[in-house]
Amino acid sequence: MRLNGEIEEDEEEEKVAESLNSQTYSTGIGFPQLQSQNLLVGYALTSKKKKSFLQPKLIGLARNKGIFFVAIDLNRPLSDQGPFDVVLHKLSGKDWCNIIEDYRQKHPEVTVLDPPDAIEHLHNRQSMLQDVADLNLSDCHGKVGVPRQLVISKDPSSIPHEVNKAGLKLPLGGILFKVYIVGEIIKVVRRFSLPNFSKHELEKVAGVFPFPRVSSASASADDADLEPSVAEHPPRLLLEKLARELRPRLGLRLFNMDIIREHGTRDVFYVIDINYFPGYGKMPDYEHIFTDFLLSFAGSKML
């Protein structure tokens, strides 16, 4: 059975897979005899995610630490594979969600990153951001909220009228902070985002002004010459408390938040998006961070 979310590899990805296959293992006949202290991580990822995340440097470092990544065969029952210590997944589709949830119930000794129902919660932007809105982050060296939202279900031509009627304003800043969460670890990188608009510029815009995307994944702003008031990261204590409060609410250990600073302020921020299992390959030193994170699930096995 082929599940939704599985993507066939093209020629370029097959070349990457060849280099990975020399360092990862597949289950089934010929599965290598690994020592009991090794940590087996079963992974079910799209080809795109596997290519970006399972880089040779990560694979090699993990192997040196006794961590082995095992490709999950989507055409075989999951319980017949392994045995795994950790299952790492990012596939979509109801079939896969049912499989992984059934596996969690039957194998509570295996750490599944992360539960399907928690991931599903992020698919609705309103419910996702409500978890942030419900927080009380007082005395945290700053303020974190969510921008006001409006769902338009009518004709798109009604958008300008509905937006004006609701009194919505754009809480923009030219820099977006991508806050990566890996368990207890927090890393922040800057990305160029939507530009600021003056009141005069906004008055010249009639109707809806389209943007291709909120942030540019390839446009790093970490080394850009920016004004300190724009470039300064959100306070560390604020981010730590935000992450600490959100982890149990979201039920996730692998996620990132997209945060912008309100224009003209230093300590007022908005969370505009939360993503499960984001592009960690763009996070500095992600290989060491992620392998140490996986080792935290080893417990007495690795002693």
Pairing of strands 254-261, 175-182: antiparallel
Q: How many residues can be counted in the chain?
A: 303
Residue with tokens 């499989």: 99
CA trace torsion 188, 192, 196, 202 (10° rounding): -130
The model's pLDDT over 12-66, given as tens digits with 9 standing for 90+, comes to 334 434 444 444 444 443 344 555 579 999 999 999 999 999 999 999 999 999 9
- Looking at every residue in the chain, the average pLDDT score rounds to 80
Structure tokens at 117: 């129902």
**Do the Cβ atoms of 283 and 189 come closer than 8 Å?**
yes
The predicted structure's pLDDT at residue 7: 33
Distances (CA, A) of 130 to 40, 120, 147: 36, 14, 11
The predicted structure's pLDDT at residue 302: 47
Task: Considering only residues 247 and 140, tell me which one the structure prediction assigns the higher pLDDT.
Answer: 247
Confidence of residue 8 (pLDDT cuts 50, 70, 90): very low
The predicted structure's pLDDT at residue 203: 66
Of 263, 254, 188, nearest in space to 221 by CA: 188
How far out from the chain centre does Cα 144 lie?
19
Distances (CA, A) of 139 to 102, 201, 288: 42, 36, 33
The model's pLDDT over 189-234, given as tens digits with 9 standing for 90+, comes to 988 776 555 666 666 665 555 655 555 544 555 555 556 666 789 9
Burial of 166 per CB tally in 10 Å (0-12, 13-18, 19+): exposed
Is pLDDT of 303 > 50? no
